[in-house]
Amino acid sequence: MRPISLRTYIVAFVISVALFSFGILAGVLVTQNINQGLAEELQVLKSRSGEMELLLLLNASPETLCPFYKEQLLKFDSQTTEFGLKLGVLENARGKGDEEVAKLKRDYMVQQIRDFLLVQKINGQCSERISTLLYFYTSPCAECTEQGKVGPPLKQKHPGLMIYAFDVDLGVAAVDALRKAYSITEYPSLVLNGETLEGFQSMGKIESFLGG
């Protein structure tokens, strides 16, 4: 067998280190781009929410603006739902302990509370009420995982239902305030149109509260 020179070993080592470093750098750049992209999307959502809040300050009759509120809210809800799905995929890929993901998630939950309060204002002005579902969860929690799986098919069947999910482990003060307001003591828990439902709730049971 032909002996391998020391130079060959050194060259192979240098190439391996270079490839490894390039891989790390590429991963960092991709991560930064994803974080930046989601942060920009979240900022757009905040701006849309602010626009909706300004609309509510217009001095116009509810009969005139309520249909418009609902139309705009459905479009806005579609955007927030899409953002939540992207954030969920990122969290599954990088883990719940990733601080950048956690920061995005905290900001998103605060935005969800703003959206929920916005819906409450609309409900106070309009005769046709918009249904809301708050979902509080923790981890590890097998029933919370199963409860989370109910959300997508429920939303698909009832697109007008506004669903907001809150991870209580992240220590968001506004989420803690909501928990106290609705007397949440166990997980999973739902708040459907202001009524607290503790423990896992099947899709059928949730629909029974919605009226079908």
Domains of the chain and any CATH numbers: 1-128 (1.20.58), 131-212 (3.40.30.10)
Percent of residues in the chain assigned helix, strand, coil, to nearest 5: 70, 10, 20
What are the tens digits of pLDDT across the range 39-69?
Answer: 788 777 777 777 777 777 766 666 677 887 7
Phi, psi of 165 (to 5 degrees): -110, 135
Could you tell me which of 94, 200, 77 has the C-alpha nearest to residue 145?
A: 200
pTM confidence score: 0.75
Residue 78 — very low, low, confident or very high, per pLDDT cuts 50/70/90? confident
CA angle, corner 106, sides to 154 and 115, nearest 5? 50
Q: In 3-state terms, what secondary structure has residue 135?
A: strand
Element of type H or E holding 82: helix 62-94
